[in-house]
Amino acid sequence: MKKIHLFLLSLCIVVISFFYVNDSPSADKGRKYYEEAGHILWDIKTEEKIIAITFDDGPHRKYTTEILDLLAQFEVKATFFIVGENAEKNPEIVLRMYDDGHELANHTYTHPFKVTVPQLVKELKQTNDTIFSITGYSPVLFRPVEGQYTDAMIDAIVKEKLKVVMWSWHQDTQDWKNPGVKKIVNTVLKGTKPGNVVLFHDGGGNRAQTVKALEEIIPELQKQGYKFVTISELIEMQKR
């Protein structure tokens, strides 16, 4: 009898644990679910030589300006995931991004590493309102800080009519660590595949290595036949 009671107790614990994990706000339904639902983009499957380069944490007065100069030089478009409070400090750079034809996207207002869902929603609205006040454009894309999210966060983001954008798993340059120009270049060039989304940073610290790496990466990928597109353009190509 004692063994039966222990068995039933263990069974109850397993069942409760199962439902707790799957119903928990912090549970992750997984990439397949969110890709099929159209809520999160990592990259797209295509044979066409297209690639999207993205920048987080800016704008920065020095490094974002240098990156914009470089993009203009090579006639390349990119997507910038903007921190709202940085946009307020550098409205002229945000306006230049927009006027140059780059895509403006949301990366929270204060770049918090831990945030509740209500706080996140507030930050999303603050950043979109800030960008709209500068450019007249309201972003439709969002990237969570450090790529961290929960199911509850995704539900809230979708209700705000924003799509979450991550990056190709092998295309995180980790340039924020200042690993050296060569390592940033090798990460991108060795990992590049059609439909990739590459993660760079234009703010949040010294991004001189990022700028130098881009001077090598962009012309080399163009030489290989790659076309640089914004995230929204990538999404449209996915629909073909």
- Catalytic site positions: 56, 201
Compute the Cα dihedral for 149, 108, 81, 63 and give only its sign.
negative
Contact 225, 200 (CB under 8 A): no
* In the block, residue with structure tokens 């409760």: 16
Classify burial at 26, counting beta carbons within 10 Å of its beta carbon; exposed 0-12, middle 13-18, buried 19 or more: exposed
* In the block, residue with structure tokens 């797209």: 44
Length of the chain: 240
SS3 percent helix, strand, coil of the chain, rounded to 5, is 50, 15, 35
Could you count the other beta carbons within 10 Å of the beta carbon of residue 150? 17
